[in-house]
Chains A and B, each alone.
Chain A
Amino acid sequence: MTGVAEKAVTRPGVKRIIGIDFDFGSLRTAGPRYWAFVSLLFTLIVLGVTAWGAALSHGGAVMAMRDNYPWGLWFTNYMYYIGLSAGGLVVYASVHLFGAKQFAPLSRLAVLQAGVLVMLALLGIITDMERPWRAVYMLLSPNPSSPFVYTGSAANIYMIICFVDLWILITGKGGHKLAHRMTLIALPFAIYLHTTTAFVLALNKSRELWNSAVMVPIFLTSATASGISLLLICAYIMQRTGVFKFKPSMFRSLATLLATVIITDLFLLAVEIMTVFWPTSAKPGHALRFAEFFTGEYALAFIPVLVLGVGAFALLAGRSTRHLPAVQITASAMYVVAVFLKRYSLMAMGFSTNTLGQYTAPYFPSLTEVLIAVGLLSVGLLIMTLSARVLPLRVPEEELHDADAQDAAAAAGLAVGVG
């Protein structure tokens, strides 16, 4: 491992900071298309910051949120980004915990993606607050009965874990053993984070459609499915741009995992729908509210969730076609969109008819909110774009072979431990 690092240091333009070789030299050789993309992202970030300034100076009125929709795009994105980050972690963890060696080349990318996405989720909260500096009260006087305290602290700690983990993976400090231990911390924490995020919705007895324990597993499965989809798409892009080289078997395994998680996700949604409408369990308030998602304006967001979900599963289920990159990318893209719409629908289910029975037309974000969200997304993309060149995300060949042997040993050790 150390031998690899020393070899890298000899290349021009490489600077070693906190033990990581930052390859700034590769930025000089980057083509005009790369820089065009980076400047586009910069423009979007500037627009987003401007929109945030407008929101701070004019108050929440420039947002489309109102009392009937107290949470809007920022919250949808919070759930969505937190969810996406899970997939990365699951894939990364499966390398260590279940000996899924075919995912090993992805580990650094997966952890970076997880950390950046949680960072975006947290920035989304900050940009939504009218007085961001009051966030300090979360530390000064936290209320232990509020789910916000748990999801907020979990997201912060999880972000730190991800970046520390990335550092450990890149520098190779502590070797394979420490990386394995970090997984043991990171994976339960990822599950904890998603559980608490689901609890923000589920622990409200005032909102019937949220107040269901199935919300937690739905969050976990949706999160994992969308995360794996995004990782799959990312891996294809990275391979296409020549950053990475993956074996086809890795994509096949990812696709199989994705199909399994998608069908679990759809199953959970189906049992929830059945419980709300079955004559012996249907409560008028629930049924009336949920019906809006099948027949009303809200169906425009919710029906695609079902169609895209079933479609993505059907694509991946076909034994003869599921190894084709086109099929895998299409199915992944379908599910990434489906989960976003699902997040929106889940949020809207609490708000479409308020607690006093008043129907509200679907929330659609205002320009300010969209600009802020796009600006945030650009921050994430910029980090990923720069990292793809500057950070040593590619796992060295030696380490992969080295890891194979140790993985088997670790898996055996785990099995003994469990037994």
Chain B
Amino acid sequence: MSEKTKPVEGQLPEALPPGCTLSRRTFLEGVGATAGLLLAGTVPGLATVASTQAKEPGVPKGNEAIASILEEDGALRYPGHTVDYAEPPGDEKWAMVIDVKACIGCRRCVYACVKENNIGRNSGFTYIQVLEMEAGKIDIEHANLDYDEAGRPDKWYMPVQCMQCAEAPCVYGCPVTATWRDPDGIVVIDYDKCIACRNCITTCPYGARHFNWVEPEVPEEERNPDVPVEAKAGVVEKCTFCIQRTRKGGTTACTEACPVGARKFGDLNDPNSEVSILLKTRRVWRLKEEYGTEPMIWYVG
């Protein structure tokens, strides 16, 4: 792991204005608060004065094959926010490699992800969707998402989640810049800014973004204190490569949960990381690569 960037002094928004995370019910109690909210809303807006100090990553030696992707990391679209429940982004370039030959479709990654990321038990979605595919082709149009029996030898399984694209259509499509790509490659969402237009859901080629149509309910004893819950009501959320873990040096919950070790997570800027070695030594492919979204999840198998 390389050295972490220190947070830019004075750029950190202090505790976000409470009005921003106001629940919908409170709205009915006092519409008069709206004016105050508009004022409070400008604080994060002003805090987005871009921190141009975001470091030029530089391409380490031995990674020429993916140099073009790493150069993309100019953090041009980084509005200078920090995710208030994660460490500030460092010099890493997070990526994942999924071995579809090994994947048995057990969905343990899905369950681990739901628990880790406080996904509302009533929300009706999961960050990870495992597609059961017919043998002989990559035919997404005939993939089965609701299979009952995993590990069938005549099928193969492809887990799909947010690809943390370098050229993310959702980032380009968000009308209010409520989502952006952090310098370490993680596409993050500002829950206090999302206007719920759901354009990102429409524009994502991987079905990775999900809207909280209800207020997410997570049992008190199962809550992960590192991840917000209430703030997610009525906004869009998605996989963040477990930003709350990975930026502290951990790995993602899905990688940890996989019983067959099909998932490898690591730093592309580190030539000795598992993902860097896999990308160099194995023949890998990416989902819908022809869209030019430069996804950060590679498949192998």
Cα A356 to Cα B125 in complex, Å, equals: 14
Please choose the segment from B88-96, B101-109, B199-207 that sits at the chain A interface, where 4 or more of its residues have CB less than 8 A away: B199-207
For A114-125 the 0/1 string (1 means CB < 8 A from B) is 000000000001
CB <8 Å contact, A357 and B141: yes
Verify if A241 is at the interface (C-beta below 8 Å from B): no
In the complex, what residues of A have CB within 8 A of residue B196's CB?
60, 128-131, 134
CB <8 Å contact, A206 and B178: no
In the complex, what residues of B have CB within 8 A of residue A394's CB?
none
Cα A131 to Cα B213 in complex, Å, equals: 13
CB <8 Å contact, A353 and B141: yes
Cα A212 to Cα B209 in complex, Å, equals: 23
Nearest Cβ on chain B to A136's Cβ, whole angstroms: 6
CB <8 Å contact, B195 and A206: no
In the complex, what residues of B have CB within 8 A of residue A145's CB?
172-173
With beta carbons under 8 angstroms apart, the residue of A56, A131, A142, A350 that contacts B202 is A350
Please choose the segment from A26-34, A62-70, A251-259 that sits at the chain B interface, where 4 or more of its residues have CB less than 8 A away: A62-70
Cα A136 to Cα B19 in complex, Å, equals: 14
CB <8 Å contact, A129 and B142: no
CB <8 Å contact, B195 and A131: yes
For B153-180 the 0/1 string (1 means CB < 8 A from A) is 0000000100000000100111111100
CB <8 Å contact, B234 and A130: yes
Cα A98 to Cα B239 in complex, Å, equals: 56
In the complex, what residues of A have CB within 8 A of residue B274's CB?
none
In the complex, what residues of B have CB within 8 A of residue A278's CB?
none
Verify if B45 is at the interface (C-beta below 8 Å from A): yes
Q: Do A206 and B176 contact each other (CB < 8 Å), given the known contacts A59-B233, A134-B41?
A: no
Which of A100-139 touch B at CB < 8 Å? 125, 128-131, 133-138
Closest chain A residue to B28 by CB distance? A57
CB <8 Å contact, A143 and B141: no
Cα A148 to Cα B233 in complex, Å, equals: 22
For B194-222 the 0/1 string (1 means CB < 8 A from A) is 11111101111111011111110000000
Verify if B34 is at the interface (C-beta below 8 Å from A): yes
Verify if B286 is at the interface (C-beta below 8 Å from A): no
Cα A288 to Cα B25 in complex, Å, equals: 43
In the complex, what residues of B have CB within 8 A of residue A137's CB?
41, 45, 176-178, 193, 195
- Count CB-based A-B contacts (< 8 Å): 157
Cα A150 to Cα B150 in complex, Å, equals: 46
Most-contacted residue by chain B among A125, A128, A205 (CB, 10 A): A205
CB <8 Å contact, B202 and A288: no
We find that the number of chain A residues with CB closer than 8 angstroms to chain B is 49
Verify if A207 is at the interface (C-beta below 8 Å from B): yes
Closest chain A residue to B170 by CB distance? A206
CB <8 Å contact, B141 and A56: no
CB <8 Å contact, A143 and B174: yes
CB <8 Å contact, A140 and B45: yes
CB <8 Å contact, B198 and A146: no
For A156-178 the 0/1 string (1 means CB < 8 A from B) is 00000000000000000000000
For B213-245 the 0/1 string (1 means CB < 8 A from A) is 111000000000000000001110000000000
Nearest Cβ on chain B to A95's Cβ, whole angstroms: 36
Cα A65 to Cα B206 in complex, Å, equals: 19
With beta carbons under 8 angstroms apart, the residue of B201, B206, B235 that contacts A70 is B201
We find that the number of chain B residues with CB closer than 8 angstroms to chain A is 57
In the complex, what residues of A have CB within 8 A of residue B169's CB?
204-206
Cα A147 to Cα B197 in complex, Å, equals: 12
Cα A133 to Cα B141 in complex, Å, equals: 39
Verify if B54 is at the interface (C-beta below 8 Å from A): no
CB <8 Å contact, A355 and B199: no
Verify if B276 is at the interface (C-beta below 8 Å from A): no
CB <8 Å contact, B34 and A133: yes
Cα A140 to Cα B211 in complex, Å, equals: 23
Verify if B12 is at the interface (C-beta below 8 Å from A): no
Nearest Cβ on chain B to A365's Cβ, whole angstroms: 14
CB <8 Å contact, B172 and A146: yes
CB <8 Å contact, A206 and B291: yes
For A389-407 the 0/1 string (1 means CB < 8 A from B) is 0000000000000000000
CB <8 Å contact, A71 and B202: yes
Nearest Cβ on chain A to B243's Cβ, whole angstroms: 21
CB <8 Å contact, B141 and A288: yes
CB <8 Å contact, B34 and A67: no
CB <8 Å contact, B45 and A131: no
CB <8 Å contact, A59 and B211: no
Cα A57 to Cα B26 in complex, Å, equals: 8
In the complex, what residues of B have CB within 8 A of residue A353's CB?
141
Q: Do A70 and B202 contact each other (CB < 8 Å), given the known contacts A130-B234, A137-B41?
A: yes
In the complex, what residues of A have CB within 8 A of residue B215's CB?
59
In the complex, what residues of A have CB within 8 A of residue B214's CB?
59-61
CB <8 Å contact, B211 and A357: no
CB <8 Å contact, A142 and B125: no
Q: Do A135 and B195 contact each other (CB < 8 Å), given the known contacts A143-B176, A204-B202, A205-B169?
A: yes
With beta carbons under 8 angstroms apart, the residue of A65, A133, A143, A355 that contacts B41 is A133
Closest chain B residue to A63 by CB distance? B213
Nearest Cβ on chain A to B166's Cβ, whole angstroms: 15
Closest chain A residue to B34 by CB distance? A133
The 9 closest A-B pairs by CB, nearest first: A70-B198, A130-B234, A148-B175, A206-B205, A137-B176, A60-B213, A140-B45, A357-B140, A146-B175
Can you give 17 A-B contacts (C-beta < 8 A)?
Answer: A57-B28, A66-B124, A67-B201, A125-B197, A131-B22, A133-B34, A134-B176, A136-B38, A137-B178, A137-B193, A140-B45, A141-B45, A146-B173, A148-B197, A205-B205, A284-B139, A357-B143
